[in-house]
Amino acid sequence: MITYQKIKVDKLDIFYREAGDPRKPTLVLFHGFPSASHMFRELIPQLTDRFHLIAPDFPGFGQSSAPDHTEFQYTFKHLADVMSDFLKTLHLASFYMYVFDYGAPIGFHIAVAHPDWIRGIISQNGNIYEEGLGKKWALRKDFWENPTPEKRDSYRSAFAPETIIGQYTTGTLANRVSPDGYLLDIAYTQTPGYAQRQLDLIFDYQNNIKAYPQFQAYLRAYQPKLLAAWGKNDPSFIYPGAQAFERDDPNTKVVLLDSGHFALETHAKEMANLIKGYF
């Protein structure tokens, strides 16, 4: 049974999904952009026999509080701090961690600050290497280095409906992706203040890249067991980013899935089997 809950953290209401026996090892699942914890709806039921699962929505995403960007700092480090406090509030100090897309810098910030919390990591298109950055990131570098209101406004295209649908379907076989996930993500783009908080995060992404050496140093120092299971056809975070984990962490297993960015939409059962087979 999956339960749907909210808890007060740093004066915010943080929504999360919970499933499985709390006496079993905990797996925390960190979602990406433009989604929320509903991206794990197919995966969670397949892991409840082995794990206690917690999947939160970040502030500004899904069903969690979304304060105005003038009143809340939408940076990845700040989101990581809130998620760290969320984990403390739930008394979770030993867990496996699944990171995807935006969830990767958030999760790795937590790992750097609390290495003793991390029992193992699943990275699904969760990049921390420059060689994992697709072509679009070169264009964003110009925005980061020479920001203007016009350039900022142009990135509204990142959460246009056709862009979101493309994120789900690019690199997958035709007619294999349910519309459920992307239609919900599109609906969330219509919530008050959505554009400004997401544009803040797009601008702040440059600081994730600057933190990559710190994340990589954590892997070299602690060498957690790591499964890099990647949708190999993802144009945003390309598969050399998965292979790069092996350079810093000898306890890495790389699996390239014939899917795109949202690999769970087509490979949730395979992902569950990989996780249970490796951890």
Other CB atoms within 10 A of residue 94 CB: 10
Q: What is the largest CA-CA distance in the chain?
A: 52
Task: Using the CB atoms, write b or e for 209-240: b if 16+ within 10 Å.
Answer: bebbeebbebbeeeebbbbbbbbbbbebbbbe
Active site residues: 261
Cα–Cα dist 279/275, whole Å: 6
- Is 15 strand, coil or helix? strand
Please give the radius of gyration of the chain, using alpha carbons only, rounded to the nearest integer.
17
Got the DSSP string for 43-86? TGGGTTTT-EEEEEPPTTSTTS----TTTS---HHHHHHHHHHH
